[in-house]
Amino acid sequence: MNMETKLTLRLNDKVIERAKNYARNHKISLSKMVESYLDSITKQKEEERKISITPLVESLSGVIDLPVDFDYKKEYRDYLDEKYK
């Protein structure tokens, strides 16, 4: 069950005016706009925490130094060409 709670914010007058104009032009309430923004950034942080790097993967990180202009797609294509001759 979703519950709504009132929140009071103190913001710069100019920011509020721009936000109101933006909301009006996009046919969305200012409350919904703020809620969407807060939902978006908090979910993003949660997702980042869920993606964990295993110790093995972390230990392999940086093992290979490749030239800046290394074209992995070309190298893989060449490998497949050679493999399936």
Tell me, what's the pLDDT at 30?
92
How far is it, in rounded angstroms, from Cα 19 to Cα 70? 45
12-30 CB burial, b ≥16 within 10 A, e <16:
eeeeeeeeeeebeeeeeee
Residue 81: helix, strand or coil by DSSP? helix
- Side chain identity, residue 1: M
Whether the CB-CB separation of 26 and 18 falls below 8 Å is answered with no
- The pLDDT assigned to 75 comes to 87
Length of the chain: 85
Summarised one tens digit per residue, pLDDT across range 68-78 is 888 888 888 88
pLDDT score of 60? 74
Mean pLDDT of 44-63: 69
